C-alpha cells in the first residue's frame, strides 16, 4: 500500500512500539492518528494528531473514531492495534483485577477498535489491520499464563478475521515480536539494545511484516 496521504490509526502511541510505528509511518507519508491515554512527549509532526482514548471503553473508542474521521477525513486505511499491558505472576496468587485488566486491554480493546474501523474499510474496499501479538502467543511461559492467554486470543482473532474480511478487500496482519526495550510492565528501557532485546526503532514497520495464516486442516 502506498501510504502517502493515507490515514493510519495507532493505539498505544505514547511510547515503545506504538511511537516507533507512528514515526515510521509518518516517514512514509501517512497521516497518523495516535490513540492513547497519554500523548507522546517526543512526537510533533504536521501529519500527526493525538486523540485521547482508553480502548477498554467501547464508547470512548467510538468517539475517538468519530473524531478521527471528523479531523482527518472519512477514509481510514490502516489500524495498528498495538496497545497492550502485561501483568505477571503465578495463577494461584494472581489478582483477578489484573487478569481482567489484561483482557480488557489486549483482547476486548482490540475488538472494539477493529469493530469501529472495519465498516469504513469495507465500504472503501481497502484497508489493513495490524494486530500486535507476541511470541508469548506461540508458547506458554511460567508466571505468564494470563498474558499468554491474551496473546493466543489475538492470534486466533487475527486468523479468523483474515479469512472473514479478505473478500472485502481488507488485509489482516498479526505480528509477534519477542522482547523489546520498552516501558512494558513498568520496565525502564535501556538506551541501546541488549543481547536479548530489540530496540523498537530498529524493528521493521508492521506493514513490512506480512503474516501468512496457516491453511485450515
Q: Is 147 a catalytic residue?
A: yes
Residue 209 confidence class, pLDDT cut points 50, 70, 90: very low
Average pLDDT of span 103-128: 98
Residue 31 is placed in which grid cell? 497521516
Dump pLDDT digits (tens) for 49-102: 999 999 999 999 999 999 999 999 999 999 999 999 999 999 999 999 999 999
| pLDDT number for residue 52 | 97
Domains delineated in the chain: 7-208 (3.40.50.720)
pTM exceeds 0.75 for this model: yes
**Residue of 147, 157, 162, 211 marked active site:** 147
Calpha distance 204→79 (Å, rounded): 16
Instruction: Name the strands in the sheet holding 48-52, side by side, starting at the edge strand that comes first in the sequence.
Output: 48-52, 31-36, 7-11, 78-81, 127-132, 170-175
Contacts for 31-37: CB closer than 8 Å, 24+ residues apart: 31/5, 31/6, 31/7, 31/72, 32/7, 32/8, 33/7, 33/8, 33/9, 33/68, 33/71, 33/72, 34/10, 35/9, 35/10, 35/11, 35/64, 35/83, 35/113, 36/11, 36/12, 36/83
Amino acid at each position: 500500500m502506498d501510504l502517502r496521504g493515507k490515514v493510519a490509526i495507532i493505539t498505544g502511541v505514547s511510547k515503545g512500539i506504538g511511537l516507533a510505528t507512528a514515526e515510521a509511518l509518518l516517514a512514509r507519508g501517512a497521516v497518523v492518528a495516535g490513540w492513547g491515554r497519554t500523548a507522546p512527549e517526543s512526537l510533533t509532526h504536521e501529519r500527526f494528531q493525538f486523540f485521547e482514548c482508553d480502548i477498554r471503553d467501547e464508547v470512548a473508542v467510538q468517539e475517538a473514531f468519530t473524531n478521527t474521521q471528523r479531523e482527518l477525513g472519512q477514509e481510514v486505511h490502516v489500524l495498528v492495534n498495538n496497545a497492550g499491558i502485561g501483568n505477571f505472576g503465578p495463577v494461584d496468587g494472581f489478582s483477578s483485577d489484573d487478569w481482567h485488566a489484561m483482557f480488557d486491554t489486549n483482547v476486548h480493546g482490540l475488538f472494539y477498535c477493529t469493530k469501529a474501523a472495519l465498516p469504513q474499510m469495507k465500504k472503501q474496499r481497502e484497508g489493513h489491520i495490524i494486530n500486535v501479538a507476541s511470541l508469548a502467543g506461540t508458547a506458554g511461559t511460567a508466571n505468564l499464563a494470563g498474558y499468554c492467554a491474551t496473546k493466543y486470543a489475538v492470534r486466533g482473532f487475527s486468523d479468523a478475521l483474515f479469512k472473514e474480511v479478505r473478500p472485502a478487500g481488507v488485509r489482516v496482519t498479526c505480528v509477534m515480536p519477542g522482547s523489546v526495550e520498552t516501558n512494558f510492565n513498568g520496565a525502564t528501557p535501556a538506551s541501546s539494545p541488549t543481547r536479548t532485546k530489540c530496540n523498537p526503532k530498529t524493528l521493521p514497520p508492521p506493514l513490512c511484516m506480512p503474516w501468512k495464516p496457516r491453511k485450515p486442516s
